[in-house]
Amino acid sequence: MKTAIVFPGQGSQYTNMGRFLYENHKIARRLYDEASEILGYNLLVACENKSGELNDTNITQPAILVYSIASWEIFKELNQVEEIYFSGHSLGELTAAVCGEAISFSEAVKLVQLRAKLMSQCGADGGMMVCFGLNYTEVESICKEVSTNNNHVTIANYNMKDQLVLSGHQDALYRVAEILNGQGAVTKKLDVSVPAHSQLMLPAKDGFREALRKIQKKDSKYPIYSCITGEPYIHSNDIVNQLSEQLTEGVQWPVVMDELIREGVRHFIEIGPKTVLTKIIEAEYPNVFVSPYNEINGYHTLFHSETQSYSMNDIISFLQASLRIIVGTPIKIKIEQSKFEKEIHAPFIELRQELGKLKKNNRPQIDSIYSKKLSNQFFSILFNKGFNREETVDLLKSSIRDKNILARIHKLYI
């Protein structure tokens, strides 16, 4: 099962973020202590937010980066990392480069501190605003209509079909908001200190590009999908352009998702504070599975799998039903032979082999992560045959006759 790890950007911070990590995981303590030494202040104390520190991009950016990297390190300790892909929303792409071992942690902390400083020095007259209710082509047209050489506004984040974030000069934002509201949209000014992903960030882009050029870099262990183009890259020489260009370009999250899904990814794990990306993915892509992995949501469910284990017999019953459904259902959509082999036949063979292995295994319990992986693979096959999630669940309920088994394994398909 192909899995994508996605890392969030600014907007996911919260008071006391990282405290649980620091107090419960040795690797997190080491990373936070190292980051604090590099930054010149105690990052964990700053995250207590007693004086509104997390409203300052100079604090927020390092806080999110370190939290996300620490969470990734914990994830690796407790989970088997197989065929995965990376992407990050804005700042999250720098996190992805570190977790892919293309940039060292110490260099990344220095970089994120510089990134925040450069961005905070740009666009004192700038701001950001969220817009709901209109599609991006309508909003783009209005932004172009209002913008001038000295008074610019643009779409900074393409998050959902009808949820966009705009960035630019305050006056231009105000004028765009008036037009958007008049056309039935809902707008809200964001309490942020920098107009990110706009032309106001040109000086920051140049400075950050130069810093990226100077550091030591390696090729990423995992493909990183660019948040501004949706295209994957691994080579170290691509990192400079991707991480600097995004400062003035809009985040194209739907493009990223479409490319990952086209690659065959059906399981997404958000690693970082809060569940910003999880909520977007759940709302826009109902046929994929997404789970947050953080100190609030993920550690209590994925870390303590003994509370969510499944019996061997239940998983065997689930797999037998899954294989019956795959064999007994038609392909409802037109599909090329190469795609059939890759996305239907090969995963089916894998599930059949897993069933054979389980029948020879004497373990009484199966952990939830392995079980969910099997479930995701089954749902992915049916999706590629043209069945939506609701239809697949109905087929599963019809195929598993024992309602007690169905009740015990319901978390595999809800």
The three-class DSSP label of residue 301 is: helix
**What is the average per-residue pLDDT within 266-278?**
92
pLDDT tens, residue by residue, 330-355: 999 988 898 899 889 999 999 999 89
Confirm if 91 and 12 have CB atoms less than 8 A apart.
no
Q: Which of the four pLDDT bands, split at 50, 70 and 90, describes residue 213? A: very high
Catalytic residues: 90, 197
Kindly state the average pLDDT of the residues 238-244.
Answer: 97
Where do the DSSP E strands lie in 102-161? 126-132, 153-160
Q: How confident is the model at residue 173 (pLDDT cuts 50, 70, 90)?
A: very high
pLDDT for the residue 302 = 42
What is the distance between the alpha carbons of residues 159 and 279, in angstroms, rounded to a whole number?
Answer: 11
308 band by pLDDT with thresholds 50, 70 and 90: low
Residue 305 has pLDDT above 80, yes or no: no
Which pTM does this prediction carry?
Answer: 0.77
pLDDT for 300 beyond 50: no
Q: The tokens of 6 are what? A: 């996605």
CB 121 within 8 A of CB 204: yes
Average pLDDT of the chain? 90
- Residue 130 DSSP SS3: strand
Q: Does 185 have pLDDT greater than 80?
A: yes
Residues 277-297, mean pLDDT to the nearest whole number: 85
**Cβ-based neighbours of 383, under 8 Å, separated by 6 or more:** 266, 287, 389, 392
State the Cα–Cα distance between residues 120 and 57, nearest whole angstrom. 7
Those residues with Cβ within 8 angstroms of residue 408's Cβ, 6 or more apart along the chain or in another chain? 310, 311, 314
pLDDT per position as a tens digit, 118-162: 999 997 789 999 999 999 999 999 999 999 988 999 999 999 988
Quote the CA–CA distance of 289 and 75 in Å, as a whole number: 18
Contact 5, 271 (CB under 8 A): yes
Which has more confidence, 344 or 193?
Answer: 344
Cα separation, 160 vs 81, whole angstroms: 29
Of 89-93, 189-193, 229-233, the range with the lowest mean pLDDT is: 189-193
pLDDT of 378 above 70:
yes
What per-residue string of b and e applies to 285-310 under the rule 16 or more CB within 10 Å gives b?
bebbbbbbbbbeebbebbbebeeebb
Q: What pLDDT does residue 306 have?
A: 40
Residue among 369, 194, 190, 180 at smallest CA distance from 291: 369
Residue 304 has pLDDT above 70, yes or no: no
Residue 284 token pair = 């826009």
- pLDDT bin (cut points 50, 70, 90) of residue 311 is confident
- Domains belonging to the chain, first-starting first, are 3-120+200-303 (3.40.366.10), 126-193 (3.30.70.250), 307-412 (no CATH)
Question: pLDDT for 72-86, tens place per residue?
Answer: 998 888 777 778 999
Average pLDDT of span 380-386 = 90
